[in-house]
A and B are shown apart, each in its own frame.
Chain A
Amino acid sequence: MDASALPNPAPTAVDRSLLIRNLCKEYRAGRPVLKGVSLAVAGRGVTAIIGPSGTGKSTLVRCINRLVDPTAGEILFRGQDLARLTGRNLRAARRRIGMIFQEYNLVERLSVIENVLCGRLGYVAAWRAWLRKFPDEDIERAFQLLDAVGLGELATQRADRLSGGQRQRVGIARALMQEPDLVLADEPTSSLDPKTSVEIMELIARRAGERDIPVIVNMHNVELARRFADRIVGMRKGEIVFDGSPQALTQAHLLRIYGGEGWLE
């Protein structure tokens, strides 16, 4: 599992930065989960969002690809305001954004390779999905991605036979299959044991880095964030309270983000 044959290395000329302006989200009126969040994410590297549960990190990430609809604000990416898109335009934008989920969210009854090929659904016609006649290049690339995440031998296994770590690798391959300009990860390691968590974070960071794809990860493990992120954003109660490099993240900052005493010892 190493960075040999890179399928379609991404050209570096594309601007993949993301700008969030005054993003607000209320699930229930009068109780905002996101309170006017503004954030500029660079077009490369791993940005980790940390913070206590319920603080809106997951909501923030899901607003970007509109799995959650923001109540107000702008999300500017590649010349479009993602918050305003609908219909075909939204789908077109989504196919350029890959997502990795906490519960892996693979289609259990499909095989590993079919799950990876789901990444191409935004690009191919429905009849191809029905007959499973994807173009040969897509199939070859799917195999290459599976090799790159270390699952080359399991392509025809049914997804529900895999372990948690293996499933998340498939999730990564699926996201990369979209040839995205941005990868979102919503607590990708929260359901995994510590060792597998490190492996998965490393895989995400490395494979996305090779392709020059920025990653926005939402996680609750501060050590992992420190280790793999190029930038850390700390949230508390729907607002950003820290934004800087991992080295700049001090105990004081952590206390401010998470509140409480004694848990840092």
Chain B
Amino acid sequence: MSAANGSAGAEPRRWRRFTPAERAMRAAFYLAVLIAIAWSLRSIEIIPEFLYDAPQQTVDLFVRMWPIDWAWYPKVVHAALVETLHTATLGTVLAIAMASPIALMVARNITHSVLLNAIGRFVLVATRSVNAMIWALFFVAVFGPGALAGTMAIAVHSIGFTGKFLSEAIEEAMPGPIEALTATGASPLAVLLKGYWPQVKPAFLSIALFRWDINVRESAVLGLVGGGGLGMALETALANLYWDQAGLVLLVIFAVVMVTEIATAWIRSRII
């Protein structure tokens, strides 16, 4: 920020919020964004007929979904729901198990080798850049369609986030207790368990809950590409254009997401 002081009575003093350099960079950024928007919009095809049709299509959608085919629930959807929940939970547990060593590898206060840090970081970025659904495509090709592929997809995708947040929590640990423990001659494992773990534990649980919540959402759609669970039920319904069945699955997904949110909020308030 800049201010030029003048003597009282002479020309008025001026104040500008940003320096000329800052202003130039901000202007450049806004310009870049505008260009990006203009470029993006021009190339996107918007077919006017489809747009005008949209309200009617939406109404049509809801008409076809009603009445909901409740009978389908006990037949197919309930089992799918259970499968989805297990996929999400097991996937989260596996993810944490796999992410913890990588988090230790990435945390700069535990691993001092820059090379190991970089490798760990790349693994984390790579696993989270690829969506769970795309991992599901891969694992379906490897393991065949079903919940195993879905669980592995959730697990591998979650490594990225869980590892990143865990490593940040580890890096934020206060060095004091660590120093004290090391000074007593404790083994590295003891230092980890008694020095780092108590400090990281609240963040760990919070991350686990947070990720579980998101994974329930993700698991519900993996079936669209063969990953089992509610997604597969949805895929079946959509393939047959049975919108009333699709409506049921959507409703169940909505309900389970709501319940999961409430459950996580409750657990959070009790334990963290």
Contacts and interface: CB of A to CB of B under 8 A. Distances in A.
A15 B14 CA distance: 35
B15 A113 contact: yes
B14 A139 contact: yes
A155 B15 contact: yes
A28 B209 CA distance: 41
Interface residues of B, dominant DSSP: loop
A4 B8 CA distance: 10
Among B8, B13, B14, B15, the most chain A Cβ lie within 10 Å of the Cβ of B15
B2 interface: yes
A117 B196 CA distance: 48
B14 A113 contact: no
A140 B8 CA distance: 9
Interface string A118-156: 000000000000001000110110111001000010011
Interface string B121-163: 0000000000000000000000000000000000000000000
Contacts of A144: 8
A29 interface: no
Contacts of B12: 136-137, 139-140
B20 to A, nearest CB: 15
Interface in B1-39: 1-3, 5, 8-9, 12-17
A121 to B, nearest CB: 16
A143 B13 contact: yes
Nearest to B1: A156
B8 A147 contact: yes
B43 to A, nearest CB: 32
Contacts of B5: 143, 152
Contacts of A136: 12, 14
Nearest to B14: A139
Given A155-B3, A156-B2, A156-B3, A5 B8 contact: yes
A132 B12 CA distance: 17
Interface residues of A, dominant DSSP: helix
Nearest to B2: A156
Nearest to A132: B17
A17 interface: no
B258 to A, nearest CB: 36
Interface in A3-29: 4-5
A139 B15 contact: yes
A102 interface: no
A196 interface: no
B17 A140 contact: no
Interface string B196-230: 00000000000000000000000000000000000
A219 to B, nearest CB: 33
A111 interface: yes
Given A111-B1, A152-B5, 7 more contacts: A4-B8, A111-B17, A136-B14, A140-B12, A142-B15, A143-B5, A156-B15
19 contacts: A4-B8, A5-B8, A111-B1, A111-B17, A113-B15, A114-B17, A132-B16, A132-B17, A137-B12, A139-B13, A140-B12, A142-B15, A143-B5, A143-B15, A144-B8, A152-B5, A155-B15, A156-B1, A156-B15
Q: Which 5 A-B pairs have the closest CB atoms?
A: A140-B12, A156-B1, A132-B17, A143-B13, A136-B12
